[in-house]
């Protein structure tokens, strides 16, 4: 028998279970009541940010030595999953705080970590992640944003597109070309601040889902920043950006999982109440089989996601495959399960009077961002176990 160390699945500890209870009750009391309104009005979920920050759940991944909660990868997944269960837009607060700051955690100097992770942990400023551009999405290494050295400074020019929480965040990890001859090895990462001269933002995108999460362009117009704002060595920015995604795709899997669970939970309640042909529709085998399939897929996605979180925590060599697999699988499950939830509510499910159509629209993004699911398959194929 393989010892526990060799066993891939990561059984949540009592502490993890306790954390889930705390986040679930906070999410139900303080985030769920605003989820429909945030979606309808396309506004930032300030109530969620306030509630998460007050409970120190807005950026749980920040290590204790930098003033954070020091949550492990599974605990971070549980926070995101439980918030997404009631409001996907709000779950992007803890998720993108991790995405934006992980390059600093993984590759930043101690000074950079102290300077930026402390304020993030205290709730003084959120972090965004700026990799994508108008003409560089799946082929992110084809970016055009330039950083040119000028004495003790770097001067950045370019446009980053689709940046989650842009305008709300104080801090931005920006990937920019420092040596155009070297393609991905000529890209470096920097921390840019919202208050840096030359930083501005485009109009919020009008989206299908996650309407409460602002997505905007970030314009960099001769932004002059001190050289010590570079994250890691010159030319290592793309590698840091990809390493970051290995860890954070698991948080998108967590978001997908939460959305799917929220849809199943709602549908489960509805089918007991709704009567047709003189009995609750839950009594029909056709409905029961749909619910069974939904629950089965969610459980498979959960096991894959938690196992990936364990790999992220341990830094296992097969993390790249597992993170991509978890994100790809869980997001496909979220899409299938939310479509089925709409189906189970019939005509009512198709209206905005019920939350499942929002969940279906929100689920779609999990198949697209942090690399589309086609890109995840490329990543998996290149890293087959």
What is the contact surface with ligand FAD in residues (CB under 6 A)?
Answer: 128-132, 137-138, 162-164, 207, 210, 215, 365, 368-372, 374-375, 378
Nearer to ligand FAD, 323 or 371 (CB): 371
| C-alpha–C-alpha distance, residues 150 and 129, integer Å | 24
CA quadruple 21, 78, 35, 342: dihedral, nearest 10:
-100
Residue 351's Cβ-count burial label (10 Å; 0-12, 13-18, 19+) is exposed
Considering the complex, what minimum distance in angstroms separates the CB of residue 163 from ligand FAD? Answer: 5
Nearer to ligand FAD, 30 or 364 (CB): 364
Considering the complex, what minimum distance in angstroms separates the CB of residue 116 from ligand FAD? Answer: 17
Nearer to ligand FAD, 243 or 274 (CB): 243
Residue bearing tokens 């629209």: 361
Residues that are catalytic: 370
Nearer to ligand FAD, 41 or 135 (CB): 135
Considering the complex, what minimum distance in angstroms separates the CB of residue 278 from ligand FAD? Answer: 45
Nearer to ligand FAD, 174 or 310 (CB): 174
Handedness of CA 150, 153, 157, 161 (dihedral sign): positive
Considering the complex, what minimum distance in angstroms separates the CB of residue 61 from ligand FAD? Answer: 16
Helix H or strand E segment including 163: strand 153-164
Interior angle at CA 89, CA 296 and CA 202, nearest 5: 140
Contact 250, 305 (CB under 8 A): yes
Residue of minimal Cβ distance to ligand FAD: 137
How many angstroms separate the Cα of 129 from the Cα of each of 80, 164, 169, 216, 274?
17, 7, 10, 12, 44
Candidates 173, 182, 189; CA nearest to 127 is 173
Considering the complex, what minimum distance in angstroms separates the CB of residue 13 from ligand FAD? Answer: 31
Handedness of CA 321, 323, 324, 329 (dihedral sign): positive
């Amino acid at each position: 028998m393989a010892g526990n160390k060799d066993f891939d699945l990561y059984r949540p500890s009592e502490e993890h279970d306790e954390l889930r209870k705390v986040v679930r009750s906070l999410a139900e009391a303080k985030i769920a009541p605003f989820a429909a309104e945030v979606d309808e009005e396309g506004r930032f979920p300030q109530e969620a940010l306030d509630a998460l920050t007050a409970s120190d759940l807005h950026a749980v991944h920040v290590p204790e030595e930098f003033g954070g909660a020091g949550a492990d990868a599974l605990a971070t997944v549980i926070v995101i999953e439980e918030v997404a269960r009631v409001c996907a837009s709000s779950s992007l607060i803890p998720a993108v705080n991790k995405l934006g700051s992980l390059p600093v955690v993984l590759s930043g100097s101690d000074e950079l970590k102290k300077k930026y992770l402390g304020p993030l942990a205290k709730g003084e400023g959120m972090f965004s992640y700026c990799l994508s551009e108008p003409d560089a999405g799946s082929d992110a290494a084809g970016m055009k944003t330039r950083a040119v050295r000028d004495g003790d400074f770097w001067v950045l020019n370019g446009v980053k597109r689709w940046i989650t929480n842009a305008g709300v965040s104080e801090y931005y990890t920006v990937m920019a070309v420092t040596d155009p001859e070297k393609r991905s090895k000529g890209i470096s990462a920097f921390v840019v601040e919202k208050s840096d001269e030359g930083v501005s933002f485009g109009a919020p995108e009008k989206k299908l889902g996650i309407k409460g999460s602002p997505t905007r362009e970030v314009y960099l117009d001769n932004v002059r920043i001190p050289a010590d704002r570079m994250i890691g060595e010159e030319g290592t920015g793309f590698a840091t950006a990809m390493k970051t995604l290995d860890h954070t795709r698991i948080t998108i899997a967590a978001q997908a999982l939460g959305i799917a669970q929220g849809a199943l939970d709602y549908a489960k309640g509805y089918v007991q109440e709704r009567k047709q042909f003189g009995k609750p529709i839950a009594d029909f085998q056709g409905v029961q089989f749909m619910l069974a399939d939904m629950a089965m897929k969610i459980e498979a996605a959960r096991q894959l996601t938690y196992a990936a979180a364990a790999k992220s925590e341990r830094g296992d060599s097969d993390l790249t495959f597992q993170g991509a697999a978890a994100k790809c699988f869980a997001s496909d499950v979220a899409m299938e399960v939310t479509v089925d939830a709409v189906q189970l509510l019939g005509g009512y499910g198709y209206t905005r009077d019920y939350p499942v159509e929002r969940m279906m629209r929100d689920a779609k993004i999990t198949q697209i961002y942090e690399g589309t699911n086609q890109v995840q398959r490329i990543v998996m194929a290149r890293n087959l176990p």
